[in-house]
Amino acid sequence: MRTLVLGGVSTNLGVESTARAAADHGYELVFVEDAMSALTAEEHRASVTLDMPRLGTVVRAGQLRVG
């Protein structure tokens, strides 16, 4: 396994923390933007637009391709 597909709660806490640890271990990361949520829309938007693109690829569920 080389790639992790991430979603969950909370975008800027749990998901981002998991992503940073996975990146440290060499995993490729895909973030499913509409499969995550944060306490506020602003927190979600900040993580998805500023932090997560530095760690991996951000997609919407309809764009996700497996295989």
Return per-residue pLDDT of the chain as tens, 67 residues: 899 999 999 999 999 999 999 999 999 999 999 999 999 999 999 999 999 999 999 999 999 987 7
How many distinct structural domains can be found in the chain?
1
The bridge status of strand 28-37 relative to strand 3-9 is: parallel
**Which residues lie closer than 8 Å to 20 by C-beta, 6 or more apart?**
55
* pTM over the 0.85 mark: yes
* Residue range(s) defining the domain that contains residue 56: 3-63
**Owner of token pair 């933007």:** 33
Helix (H, G, I), strand (E, B) or coil at 46: helix
